[in-house]
Amino acid sequence: MADFDIEVLRLGHRVGRDPRITTHLALVSRAMGAKGFILSGDKDNKLFSNIRSVNDRFGHGLDCRYESQPMKLLRGINKSSTSEKPIIVHLTMYGEPFKKVVPNIPKNRPVIVVVGGAKVPSELFSISDYNIAVGNQPHSEVAALALFLDSWTEGEGFNRQYFDPQLIISPSKTGKDVHEVN
């Protein structure tokens, strides 16, 4: 089974505006191999409750937490000199083409994937180890995250293990095939 040390940091979440997009970012993170989801901006207990519900029903697969000072967190990582220092990957439409950059990102260290929100501090470009674009036109941050995770994990992010599921979905050509775990 694939085991990747990936966390996704959502910058600048706004409760009144972003709950659906941020929930989708968390679900894509969970489904494609990330172990953690870090929320910054407005604290959103409903979002965390929704992800807990998904973990309860389909198996634990994503730890969520709130970070009130995400740039301080990233600065601390950036200044760290340990060999286990996480690699900071910033997804932005202003970055370098992901298909050229992703093969060069080491896989032997943890990764924090930063996905912006309303306004990304310009400092993030210098703090990040990689500023990557899946396209240089306006696009969905959910699509950018999915493309990056699939490319970086070489599709293996989908092969992660989920613990204690209540429901298991089996692939089916003709409809829903969902089984309760006894």
Q: Is the pLDDT of residue 99 over 60?
A: yes
Confidence of residue 161 (pLDDT cuts 50, 70, 90): confident
* H-helix segments, the chain: 19-31, 45-58, 70-79, 98-101, 123-127, 141-152
Domain boundaries, the chain: 6-180
Between 110 and 159, where is the model more confident? 110
Query: What does the pLDDT read at residue 36?
Result: 97
Average pLDDT rounded to a whole number, residues 73-80: 88
Distance CA 43, CA 123 (A): 23
Distance CA 142, CA 150 (A): 12
Q: Is the pLDDT of residue 3 over 90?
A: no
Average pLDDT rounded to a whole number, residues 42-70: 95
User: Does domain 6-180 fall into CATH 3.40.1280.10?
Assistant: yes
Query: What does the pLDDT read at residue 1?
Result: 46
Distance CA 41, CA 89 (A): 19
Tens of pLDDT along 162-176? Answer: 899 999 999 999 999
Neighbour count for residue 165 (Cβ, 10 Å): 17
Distance CA 182, CA 176 (A): 19
Average pLDDT rounded to a whole number, residues 137-157: 93
Measured between alpha carbons, how far is residue 144 from residues 1, 16, 24, 87, 158 in Å?
Answer: 24, 23, 12, 18, 16
Report which of 66, 68, 2 is spatially closest to residue 37, judged by C-alpha positions: 66
Q: How many degrees, rounded to 5, is the angle at CA 71 between CA 17 and CA 16?
A: 10
* The model scores a pTM over 0.85: yes
Average pLDDT rounded to a whole number, residues 18-36: 95
